[in-house]
Amino acid sequence: MALLGLVLSLVTPQFTGIMASSRLNADARKMASVLKIARQEAIYTGQPRTVVFYPYNHKYKIIGQSTNLLSPGISFIGTTNFPKGGTGLPTCGFTPSGAPSSGGTIVLGNEEKRCYIIVNPAVGRIRVSASPPANWN
C-alpha cells in the first residue's frame, strides 16, 4: 500500500500538468475553428462575419451565434491585439471574400504555458502556434 501511495503521489502532479496543457491546446484549436467557421460563413453567404472576444469574461463568439467559453484555468493573456469594434471589445471580422478586416493574435494561457491563435492579415490564414508570430513585439 505504501508503495502504491508513493507512486500515485509522484504521478498525480505530472498528470495534472498534462491535463492542463491538453485543455489549453483544445481551447486554442476550438477558437481557431470558430474563426475559420466565421471566415467560411462570410464566403458562403456573401455577408461579413465578425468574431468578438470578451477577454475579461473568458469567452468569445461569432456575432449572432452562441457563446464559447474557455475551459477553467484557461484565460486570455492581455486583451488580444485585434482592433476594438463598436462595442469597445476586440473583434476579428471577415469580408465576403474571406479576407480579414485586420490580422491579429490572441494569446491563451494557463499557469504554465501559452498558445497563440494567429490570423494572417494578408490571406486570412488562421493557425495555432506554441510561439508568437515572427513580428511579435
Q: Is residue 136, in this structure, part of any structural domain at all?
A: no
What pLDDT band is residue 126 in, cutting at 50, 70 and 90?
very high
Q: Is residue 6, in this structure, part of any structural domain at all?
A: no
Q: Is residue 57, in this structure, part of any structural domain at all?
A: yes
pLDDT at position 73 is 93
Which CATH number covers residue 72? Answer: 3.55.40.10
Distance between CA 126 and CA 34 in Å, rounded?
A: 10
pLDDT at position 13 is 57
Q: Give whole-number Cα distances, 125 to 33, 73, 97, 106, in Å.
A: 12, 28, 13, 14
The reported pTM is 0.86
Give me Rg for the CA atoms of the chain: 18
* Lowest mean per-residue pLDDT among 15-19, 33-37, 44-48, 122-126: 15-19
Instruction: Report the share of the chain in percent with pLDDT over 90.
Output: 68
Range of the domain at 61: 16-129
More reliable by pLDDT, 136 or 130:
130
What pLDDT band is residue 9 in, cutting at 50, 70 and 90?
low
- Let me know: does 23 contact 16? Beta carbons within 8 Å: no
Express each pLDDT in 51-95 by its tens digit.
999 999 999 999 999 999 999 999 999 878 899 988 899 999 999
Q: Is residue 29, in this structure, part of any structural domain at all?
A: yes
- pLDDT at position 6 over 70: no
Domain count of the chain?
1
How does DSSP assign 58-97, residue by residue? TEEEETTS--EEPPTT-EESSS-SSPB-TTSSBEEEE-TT
